[in-house]
């Protein structure tokens, strides 16, 4: 009798845990990457956590890598940011990949990897959060879009 009750209790606890986990959904990734359609560049967004309370700020590391190594010609480009349920500062990063042909280039630039930071601030108004209770940092670069999702934590 006791053994049957213990098995029944274990099954009920397991079912309750499964239902509880199913309701939570998946946690958003802390690192997201995307490549341009031509395969020449990869953009990565990385944060040290994937949740914020309303009004909190989160630094996000932005990396653009030339997958072909150093380019033949210099290329100046921009990553533009859009936020959902918050704001991103700065909303644009401008950078230059210095090409092999530009041996006398005197400006600021990198050869194969550009890294910088933006800061996402979650809106204080939880009503501005989307129905999935997530904020988003959307990075646009050439033909790609990378989306870092940030869960809205309870106050």
Tens-level pLDDT at each residue, the chain (155 residues): 555 544 444 444 443 333 333 334 567 789 999 999 999 999 999 999 999 998 999 999 999 999 999 999 999 999 999 999 999 999 999 999 988 888 776 666 788 999 999 999 998 875 554 555 789 999 999 999 999 999 988 76
Q: Beta partners for 62? A: 45, 116
Distance from C-alpha of 76 to C-alpha of 98, rounded to nearest angstrom: 8
Four-CA torsion 121, 126, 130, 133, nearest 10 degrees: 90
pTM: 0.77
Q: How high does pLDDT run on average in the chain?
A: 82
Q: With beta carbons less than 8 A apart as the criterion, state whether 45 and 137 touch.
A: yes
- The answer to whether the CB of 16 falls within 8 A of the CB of 9 is no
CA–CA distance, 64 with 138 (Å, rounded to integer): 14
């Amino acid at each position: 009798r006791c053994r049957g009750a213990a098995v029944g209790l274990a099954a009920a606890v397991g079912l309750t845990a499964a239902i509880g986990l199913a309701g939570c959904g998946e946690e958003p990734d802390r690192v997201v990457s995307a490549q341009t359609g031509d395969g020449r560049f990869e953009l990565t967004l990385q944060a040290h956590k994937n949740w914020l309370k309303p009004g909190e700020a989160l630094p996000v590391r932005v990396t653009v890598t030339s997958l072909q190594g150093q380019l033949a010609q210099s290329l100046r480009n921009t990553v533009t940011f859009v936020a959902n349920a918050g704001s991103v500062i700065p909303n644009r990063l401008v950078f230059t990949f210095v090409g092999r042909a530009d041996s006398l280039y005197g400006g600021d630039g990198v050869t194969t990897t550009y890294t910088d930071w933006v800061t996402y601030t979650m809106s204080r108004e939880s009503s501005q959060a989307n129905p999935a209770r997530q904020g988003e940092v959307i990075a646009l670069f050439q033909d790609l879009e990378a989306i870092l999702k940030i869960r809205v934590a309870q106050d």
